[in-house]
Amino acid sequence: MDFFIHPYIPNALILKEMLKEVGIENINDLFNDVPKVNFDLNIPILDEYSIYKEVKSILSKNKVYKKCFMGGGPWFHFVPSIIKYLITRGEFLTSYTPYQPEVSQGVLQALFEFQSMICELYNMEVANASLYDFPTAIGEAILLSSRVTGRRKVIIPSSIPEDRKSVIRNYAINLEIIEVPFLDNGCPDLEYIKKIINKDIAGVYTEIPNFFGVIDFKIKELIEIAHEVEALAIIGADPLLMGIIKPPGDYGADIVVGDGQPLGIPPAMGGNSLGIIACKNDMRIIRQMPGRIVGMTKTIRGERAFTLVLSTREQHIRREKATSNICTNETLLAIAATIYMALLGKEGIKRIAKRIFHNTQYVIKRIKEIGLDTAFKGLHFRDFTIKGINIKKLNKFLKEKEILGGREISENIGLFAVTEIHKKEDIDEFIDLLKEFIRRN
Amino acid sequence: MISLEPLIFELSKKGRIGLYIEDCEIEEIPKEFLREELNLPEVSQIEVVRHFTRLSQMNWGVDTGPYPLGSCTMKYNPRINEELSWMDEIQWIHPLQDIDDIQGILEIMYKLEKMLSSITGMKRFSLQPAAGAHGEFTGCLIIRKYHKDRGEDRDEMIIPDSAHGTNPASAAMAGFKVIEIPTNEEGLVDIEALKSTVGKRTAGMMLTNPNTLGLFERNIKEITEIVHDAGGLMYYDGANLQGILGIARPGDMGFDIVHLNLHKTFSTPHGGGGPGSGPIGVNELLEDYLPVPVVDFDGNKYYLNWNLPKTIGKVRNWYGSIPVLVKAYSYLLSMGSNGLKLSCYASVVNTNYFMKKVSQIRGFTIPFGNAYRKHEVVISAEKLAKETGVTALDIAKALIDKGLHPPTIYFPPIVKEALMFEFTDTETKENIDKYIEALKEISDIAYSNPEILKKCPNKTLIGRVDEVYANHPKTMCLSYKMYLRKIKENI
């Protein structure tokens, strides 16, 4: 193959000259130790305009819904314009994990602020710089509880969806997972937990709101039950819900995990994910935390500075004894979430949570007015179920009206959601369509 | 303490907000559960823009200058790929939309998978894993299930001492006992040690080829044979694929499982540490073990295939780092078969050109002999450290003062005072020459006035970071909340 000019490969046409300095004539001499096999990759090379045209034309086959009522995540929240503008700045976008703190203060400080804001939301004192996504964060939290307690059993709610359980089972592959049945509000049965819990249990996990959108007001009791046997209480808490209700930290939760996607991150077919993990200020837990953690420190000149800390927990130093294998995480999306939380601030996050809660109550009220009901009792936040209608047919009907319907939980139960982007008129239209659907069927 | 840019919390002033949201009243939540305290900063939109713009200015990226981190493959990140990944048709798609609604992205996933298969010589890929280490973990889960399904009790994973730290960490997470094997004097897997290590408990071997020294394991066929004969599987860590991209394929070498790092070899940006993407490829033997769903084509439509009888299940939510996949696909089109090969050639020539020049500088040696390297080379500053007291860390900080981002340091652990350089295909000869010049100057100073180097960097916005202070339990500060508490407690 002849060397040819290419915009991404500046040395392409001087490679021969450089080879001479190495002392060889033929490029193949650099690959003498590699077994020769002939293959053809068959990938065409396109100019930039053609790539643009090609990819755009393929992607035009995707349908973008203007209105979405799909529950269970990822959710369609509003994403402020400046997030994309800031996170695609080349200095953030094209940087590596900040190993050299003197030239990486930007990412380090942003991650410290991310950790700090997560701690404020959940009232915890320590958070890491992100994990891959929500299910892997639950998996890591469960492993963390096992390392801290030296125990090998964990309790999780049976209400969480199968795909999330599958991830958890893979992470906790060497642990025993016990599923707890749920009550008519979809929350775990605490009496059941009390009966089965003992000193073999490493951690007890639950979610708020639960998968069906119901706010669990028994978090405090669950944490107490876990603490009675010195197990760790792990709470999966929606970050936006924290704008209106007391956070798990207020009740003594040991570990909090969360799905960061609602914090200013577009859904991207589930491909933009951000796993959150936080813990209380307990060195036993902190020393076992997975992933990167940024700390505030000083320089030898006395300035404030930020750097990666506790790296002796990590894979590049501790190898098979590391607390996790995670290396690359979701830093850029953590920065997006940081910008989002900074924009909202104390007042904004309350307002947005109130707006979502308000919309949820309104849609449920209207659902009941037309003779339908949620499948689970209790106060809902963002997600809600509708029972008693054929969800597949309903979704098909909504699709004709350019609306993305709900997630099928069973044939006649669907999981839906409203966020702050839904106006009263949108919800009224949704209800009118439900009415029409019932009338027709 | 002097601070270049205050924390966003310190910019907060009551009554400011960065986004207009209309307030509303809610009444249903019982008072005892209502949130009272919530100490998020209160800042206006312009303050947010300025704060994060200033932070970005305090950060190094490929867009700023050369970034020769070994094993990280810091290539140029073309903006056209970025732009395409930000289209509404990617960003505002829900994973549960009807198949008819997502034909576009499924087509890209399908075509990307085919390209990755032909590049690696593997049968099928799952695009699900979120990063390289996540791909390794997925691969280890597949190995575990494969043996279990065959009724075999194999719990040992063989990993060379030169491997990336993620290899043993991933194997351990999947429940394997890690058996480390030594590197021989040529910098390659010690075949005799491997032979005496494999046995009935061998589940597999994880190997990076070219390895972290930049050396191609030329006995690869023998290695795979030894492991296969013992009943184990071969796992290929694709972090270093750049060194043989378009020239050789792990599938042809006998590997059963491969992970790739799209954020390395396929030029998607690292974003300060993610999002990445670590697709995992397997041969026919393991096709049915991949995470679900995979993307298939029925001749008419692309669809998500959940029907893999032996699947390990899922390793993350949904289907993969979708925007990253679009960027990698777009990148592959910009290179074509010949461009990928050219990319490999350029990075390998860059490495050997650099190695040749550096080996002539006083105090630096090339451990494990002078054989040609592939995409990266590890230099040892052990001699310099012994003779002058100037360490790899000092050299890194001195490079920063010369406007050059340091290489990976102290890795792999089998090389003392290691400096691991990877220029990729992105770097110009002029910039590589700058590194050579800079290392010469640093060597000269080390032998004449080493103390100067201990205080580097001096030209950065901040001075050398105190890592001891950062990690001491008394002074360690991991959040603003902790910071406020420490101030209160006068620490």
pLDDT in tens, B402-428: 999 999 999 999 999 999 999 999 999
B136 touches chain A (CB under 8 A): yes
Report yes or no on B51 lying in a domain: no
Percent of chain A's residues with pLDDT above 90: 96
Closest chain B residue to A352, measured at CA: B21
Q: Is residue B2 over pLDDT 80? A: no
Is the peptide bond preceding residue B275 cis, with omega within 30 degrees of 0?
yes
- Given this model, what pLDDT does residue B4 score? 85
| Count of structural domains within chain B | 1
Q: Is residue A313 over pLDDT 90? A: no
Report yes or no on B486 lying in a domain: no
**B126 burial type by CB count under 10 A (0-12 exposed, 13-18 middle, 19+ buried):** buried
**Domain A67-77+347-440 CATH assignment equals 3.90.1150.10:** yes
Substitution target in A1, A11, A144 with the highest count of B β-carbons within 10 Å is A11
Substitution target in B4, B55, B170, B411 with the highest count of A β-carbons within 10 Å is B55
CA distance A335 to A343: 12
- Across the interface, whether the CB atoms of B271 and A92 are under 8 A apart is answered yes
Q: Is residue B491 over pLDDT 70? A: no
Torsion of CA B433, B435, B441, B447, to 10 degrees: -130
Is the peptide bond preceding residue B293 cis, with omega within 30 degrees of 0?
yes
Report yes or no on B469 lying in a domain: no
Q: What angle do CA B362, B366, B372 make, to 5 degrees?
A: 130
Is the peptide bond preceding residue B457 cis, with omega within 30 degrees of 0?
yes
Would you say A19 and B372 are in contact if contact means Cβ atoms under 8 Å apart? Answer: no
B335 touches chain A (CB under 8 A): yes
Q: Is residue B174 over pLDDT 80? A: yes
Q: What's the pLDDT tens digit per position in B238-250?
A: 999 999 999 999 9
**Using 50, 70 and 90 to split pLDDT, how confident is the model at A316?**
confident
- Given this model, what pLDDT does residue B58 score? 95
**B153 burial type by CB count under 10 A (0-12 exposed, 13-18 middle, 19+ buried):** exposed
A409: CB partners within 8 A, 6+ apart: A212, A375, A385, A391, A415
Q: Is residue B445 over pLDDT 70? A: yes
Strands A232-237 and A255-259, bridge-based pairing? parallel
CA distance A110 to B95: 29
Nearest to B275 among A314, A330, A420 (CB): A330
- Across the interface, whether the CB atoms of B178 and A170 are under 8 A apart is answered no
Q: What are the distances in angstroms from CA B128 to CA B98, B272, B279? A: 19, 21, 6
**Which tokens hold the place of A419?**
């966020």
Report yes or no on B104 lying in a domain: yes
Helix (H) and strand (E) counts in chain B: 16, 12
- Given this model, what pLDDT does residue B1 score? 65
B230 CA: distance to closest CA in chain A (Å): 23
- Given this model, what pLDDT does residue B163 score? 94
- Given this model, what pLDDT does residue B327 score? 98
A89 CA: distance to closest CA in chain B (Å): 7
* Residues in A touching B322 (Cβ below 8 Å): 268-272
* Residues in B touching A357 (Cβ below 8 Å): 26, 28-29
Calculate mean pLDDT across residues A56-64.
98
Calculate mean pLDDT across residues A263-271.
98
* Residues in A touching B91 (Cβ below 8 Å): 266-268, 272
Q: Is residue B3 over pLDDT 90? A: no
**Using 50, 70 and 90 to split pLDDT, how confident is the model at A413?**
very high
3-state secondary structure chain A: CCCCCCCCCCCHHHHHHHHHHHCCCCHHHHHCCCCCCCCCCCCCCCCHHHHHHHHHHHHCCECCCCEECECCCCCCCCCCHHHHHHHCCHHHHCCCCCCCHHHEHHHHHHHHHHHHHHHHHHCCCEECCCECCHHHHHHHHHHHHHHHHCCCEEEEECCCCHHHHHHHHHHCCCCEEEEECECCCCCECHHHHHHHCCCCEEEEEEEECCCCCECCCCHHHHHHHHHHCCCEEEEEECCCHHHCECCHHHHCCCEEEEECCCCCCCCHHHCCCCEEEEECCCHHHHCCCCCCEEEEEEECCCEEEEEEECHHHCHHHHHHHCCCCCCCCCHHHHHHHHHHHHHHHHHHHHHHHHHHHHHHHHHHHHHHHCCCECCCCCCECCEEEEECCCHHHHHHHHHHCCEECCEEEECCEEEEECCCCCCHHHHHHHHHHHHHHHHHC
Report yes or no on B102 lying in a domain: yes
Q: What is the mean pLDDT of chain B?
A: 97
B10 CA: distance to closest CA in chain A (Å): 11
Q: What's the pLDDT tens digit per position in A160-195?
A: 999 999 999 999 999 999 999 999 999 999 999 999
* Residues in A touching B115 (Cβ below 8 Å): 41, 43
**Using 50, 70 and 90 to split pLDDT, how confident is the model at A314?**
confident
The label of the residue with tokens 């910008």 reads A339
B110 touches chain A (CB under 8 A): no
CA distance B87 to A407: 25
CA distance B108 to B89: 12
- Given this model, what pLDDT does residue B250 score? 98
Substitution target in B53, B96, B216 with the highest count of A β-carbons within 10 Å is B96
Report yes or no on B217 lying in a domain: yes
Q: What's the pLDDT tens digit per position in B85-120?
A: 999 999 999 999 999 999 999 999 999 999 999 999
Q: Is residue B198 over pLDDT 90? A: yes
B383 CA: distance to closest CA in chain A (Å): 23
Substitution target in B35, B49, B88 with the highest count of A β-carbons within 10 Å is B35
A240 CA: distance to closest CA in chain B (Å): 12
Q: Is the ipTM of this complex over 0.95?
A: yes
- Across the interface, whether the CB atoms of B246 and A355 are under 8 A apart is answered no
Q: Is residue B257 over pLDDT 90? A: yes
> Three-state SS for B325?
helix
CATH class as words, domain A81-340: alpha beta
* Residues in A touching B396 (Cβ below 8 Å): 100
Higher-confidence position of A2 and A122? A122
Nearest to A345 among B35, B42, B95 (CB): B42
A308: CB partners within 8 A, 6+ apart: A97, A98, A99, A101, A108, A292, A293, A294, A295
Q: Where are the domains of chain A?
A: 12-47, 67-77+347-440, 81-340
* Residues in B touching A337 (Cβ below 8 Å): none
B269 touches chain A (CB under 8 A): yes
Q: Is residue A418 over pLDDT 90? A: yes
Q: Which CATH number do you get for residue B449? A: 3.40.640.10
B300: CB partners within 8 A, 6+ apart: none
* Residues in B touching A46 (Cβ below 8 Å): 333-334, 336
Would you say B180 and B168 are in contact if contact means Cβ atoms under 8 Å apart? Answer: yes
Report yes or no on B347 lying in a domain: yes
Q: Is residue A343 over pLDDT 90? A: yes
Calculate mean pLDDT across residues A368-396.
97
Domain of residue B250 covers 73-460
**Using 50, 70 and 90 to split pLDDT, how confident is the model at A315?**
confident
Higher-confidence position of B40 and A2? B40
* Residues in A touching B93 (Cβ below 8 Å): 62-64, 267-269
- Given this model, what pLDDT does residue B326 score? 98
Question: Of the candidates B153, B89, B73, B155, which has an alpha carbon nearest to the alpha carbon of residue B423?
Answer: B73
**Which tokens hold the place of B290?**
């991949």
Q: Is residue A12 over pLDDT 90? A: yes
Calculate mean pLDDT across residues A387-407.
97
- Given this model, what pLDDT does residue A312 score? 87
Q: What's the pLDDT tens digit per position in A76-121?
A: 999 999 999 999 999 999 999 999 999 999 999 999 999 999 999 9
CA dihedral for B49, B51, B55, B57, sign (positive or negative): positive
Report yes or no on B368 lying in a domain: yes
CA distance A434 to B349: 65
Nearest to A315 among B29, B102, B166 (CB): B166
Torsion of CA B390, B393, B397, B403, to 10 degrees: 110
First to last CA, chain B: 13
Q: Is residue A1 over pLDDT 80? A: no
Calculate mean pLDDT across residues A218-238.
98
